Amino acid sequence: MPHTWDPQRYLTYADERGRPFVDLLSRVATTDPGVVVDLGCGPGNLTRLLVERWPDAAVGGLDSSPEMIEAARVAEPRAAFEVADLRAWAPEPGSVDVVVSNATLQWVPGHLELVPSLLRAVRPGGWLAFQVPANFDQPSHTIRAELADLPPYDEHTRGIASPESHDAAAYLETLTALGCDVDAWETTYLHVLTGDDPVFTWVSGTGARPTLEALPSDLRADFERDFKQRLREAYPRRDGRVVLAFRRVFVVAQVPA
């Protein structure tokens, strides 16, 4: 069953989710690009940073979620947004100066195979920059997967979308083989969260959302209760705060001139 995205839920931790985008963008060393595209732009709050950094560029964003694009058009009217699947994105070769993708490629199965087509869109000397989560071995993900495999949930959660990514070395090797000058690294952020069940709030807007939406409403309530309890045990509260360790992989590649 196709899942939908909730822009408001996603934006609950907008500052924390936005920091990796800023760190990624800081390594893109161009001052006057003509065309900039944000693949998987979400609700547009980060696309705004592209417009502000390069005000003379034609900035566009695409996302497969109509809900996200609707929110993006409100958030940043200076950019052109469209509902589209990035796997089918095929602009004129060499027509884009900067392609950015933030926390999106992990949802595309076999996305390493997509890299050559993304590069074809970039002009010589242009840039491809992306960031993907790399924390799928952490309790925030493993608990969700383990619980989803149990009856009675498993009947509804088989084959749901599940994010995955590679380590920095794999992206470095792939893009270097394609002739790019590559900067690849990883960072683990320690997000200090407050509020009720903050880790559940975080994952329910991203990695756990397809699982939650796959469940009928009565089972979803039971699943959420069990999921929250297990997350509380895995991420204990101390002095009213919960620390969520979140590893991310960054890649900035310049296409050969």
3 state SS of 4 = coil
H or E element in which residue 248 lies: strand 242-254
d(CA 29, CA 50): 13
* Residue linked to tokens 């390493």: 112
pLDDT at site 6: 47
pTM across the whole model? 0.91
d(CA 64, CA 80): 14
102 domain-assigned: yes
205 domain-assigned: yes
Please give the full DSSP string across 105-133, using - where no structure is assigned: GGGSTTGGGGHHHHHHTEEEEEEEEEEEE
73 domain-assigned: yes
pLDDT at site 7: 46
2 domain-assigned: no
**C-alpha neighbours within 13 Å on the C-beta side of residue 89:** 28
In the chain, alpha helices (H): 7-10, 14-25, 47-53, 66-75, 115-120, 139-148, 154-157, 168-177, 198-204, 209-214, 217-234
d(CA 65, CA 85): 9
- Per-residue confidence in pLDDT tens, the chain, 257 aa: 444 544 454 444 557 778 899 999 999 999 999 999 999 999 999 999 999 999 999 999 999 999 999 999 999 999 999 999 999 999 999 999 999 999 999 999 999 999 999 999 999 999 999 999 999 999 999 999 999 999 999 999 998 888 899 999 999 999 999 999 999 999 999 999 999 999 999 998 888 889 999 999 999 999 999 999 999 999 999 999 999 999 999 999 999 98
d(CA 112, CA 43): 25
69 domain-assigned: yes
pLDDT at site 85: 94
Domain span including residue 16: 7-254
Q: Assess whether the previous peptide bond of 198 is cis (omega < 30° from 0).
A: no
pLDDT at site 5: 41
Q: What CATH code is carried by the domain that includes residue 209?
A: 3.40.50.150
153 domain-assigned: yes
d(CA 173, CA 248): 18
User: How many CB atoms within 10 Å of residue 179?
Assistant: 12
pLDDT at site 161: 81
d(CA 198, CA 253): 34
pLDDT at site 18: 84
204 domain-assigned: yes
Domain count, the chain: 1
Q: Give the phi and the psi of residue 179 in degrees, each rounded to 5.
A: 95, 5
1 domain-assigned: no
Q: Assess whether the previous peptide bond of 152 is cis (omega < 30° from 0).
A: yes
User: How many CB atoms within 10 Å of residue 20?
Assistant: 21
Considering only CA atoms, which of 229, 181, 134 is closest in space to residue 28?
181
H or E element in which residue 252 lies: strand 242-254
Residue 96, beta-bridge partner list: 122
